[in-house]
Amino acid sequence: MDPARLIRKSTTEWWLEPHGAMRVPGVLFADEELIREMDDQVLDQMAGVACLPGIVQASFAMPDAHRGYGFPIGGVAAFDADAGGVVSAGGVGFDISCGVRTALTKQPADEIRPRLERLADLLLARIPAGVGSRGPLRLGHGELEAMLTDGAAWAVRCGYGTARELERIEGRGVAADADPAQVSPQAKSRQAEEMGTLGSGNHYLEVQEIVELYDAPLAALYGLRVGEVAVSIHCGSRGLGHQVATDYSRRMVAAAARHGIALPDRELACAPICSEEGQAYLGAMNAAINCALANRQILLELVRRAWRELFRGVDLELLYDVSHNTCRLEDVTLDGQPRAFYIHRKGATRAFGPGHPDLPPELRAAGQPVLIGGTMGTSSYIMAGTAESAGRAWSSACHGAGRTMSRTQASRQWQGRAVMDDLARHGILIRTRSFRGLAEEAPGSYKDVDRVVAATAAAGLARKVARLVPLACVKG
């Protein structure tokens, strides 16, 4: 992308001035090198989002932005329901509530390394992963409805984890206003045997070592210590979420026309928030969020049980669980006045600052943990939300490195076995059920996560707390 298409406001803030049907500007947070690596469609999609009714302030994009479906991945936009604002399935994405959950072992990495091969093999055996994988549960109609209503709290009732962990999950583990009746029978049938599965694509389970702290007081509040091991799980709502997105993307094309909404791109199909279609989608989307939260709750408990087979007396304590693909009604301040807007985050992380009432009391002084995933062979980061971010991008931050090439391009350039062998030479063990999937996720197909995180911090969206490196990674 040519930076000349943008107006530079600072080293990390660039504006796309309104033109054509745009109602608000586009605002991209990135440094110049990251912008040059982005595809031109990021700006085109930012501009398309800026054309939608009821958008507030700007169409934002994070430093890891790349082309998505309708909205760019890394896109953030708020909509005012009272001003005819819309909700868009493409603004949430197909993997609804895909997110990261990080747990701390308090265990030194030196205790892990002698048994790392056994641990990696055990995690692959215990964690269902890959396309078509089946989990430990088989849900009947009543159980499925309860899961879609109660999220991680349902999983805890089923014996997966403890109730105290719910405080460390975004929204305390439950998305309110879920309406399972708005989820199609096909979507429900796809999920009946997929609870507690990792999935494929960019989803992973990673054993990590904390290697660097940037903010000692915040790290202490989070319980992070150099040399200790953490476990991160990245996955979402599996087949159910994908089907919900598919169902409503089609339905919203007709809804937009019926409500007189001129779409700059069919992929931006949407419906007024207050319409029947908009409310139906929100009910189904919240149910899918609950599915993802329950899924990650089960997965962490499966990891915990496997861990105890090798390391007696070691527990995994949940640091935080945060989603990337959601639309939530949030209280904000605009021009000094309290307001409530529906905020789409697609491939972007909510990043509440210190003092926010939605944070658990023990984390409130620090701000929300912001979990930034790496790329198997690169660092992951733990950041913290800032008060400044609330006025810059609706308390939002990046979610990972962001792709620089498609999965098809990556699979042509790399061989899965070669990727695994190369990472092994760097001391990173990979376990997978799909070498093609491994090629598609080769680290070289992503942006430099260090630069993405640095730009996020420089823009004031979140602050760096810790850097982690992979020891072993299980991929679908």
The owner of tokens 């896109």 is: 75
Among candidate residues 99, 95, 49, 38, the one with its CA nearest the CA of residue 71? 49
Confirm if 414 and 442 have CB atoms less than 8 A apart: yes
Report phi then psi at 71, rounded to 5.
-75, 150
> Alpha-carbon torsion 266, 268, 274, 280, what sign?
positive
Give how far Cα 89 sits from Cα of 61, 244, 274, Å: 17, 9, 15
> DSSP alpha helices (H): ranges in 229-316?
238-258, 276-310
Contacts of residue 165, defined as CB under 8 A and 6 or more positions apart, other chains included, come to 152, 156, 173, 297, 300, 318
> Alpha-carbon torsion 319, 325, 327, 332, what sign?
positive
β-bridge mates for residue 322, sequence order = 100
For residue 18, give both structure tokens: 């309104």
Rounded distance between C-alpha atoms, residue 373 and residue 251, angstroms: 33
Q: How open is the CA angle 89-282-339, to the nearest 5 degrees?
A: 100
Q: What is the 3-state secondary structure (H, E, C) of 21-83?
A: CCCCCEEEECCHHHHHHCCCHHHHHHHHHCCCCCEEEEEEEEEEEECCCCCCEEEEEEECHHH
Confirm if 67 and 44 have CB atoms less than 8 A apart: no
b/e string for 445-462 if b means 16 or more Cβ within 10 A? bbbbbebbbbbbbbbbbb
Rounded distance between C-alpha atoms, residue 195 and residue 159, angstroms: 14
Confirm whether 344 is a catalytic residue. no
Catalytic residue among 141, 344, 399, 426: 399
b/e string for 425-440 if b means 16 or more Cβ within 10 A? eeebbbbbbbbebbbb
Confirm if 270 and 312 have CB atoms less than 8 A apart: no
Active site residues: 399
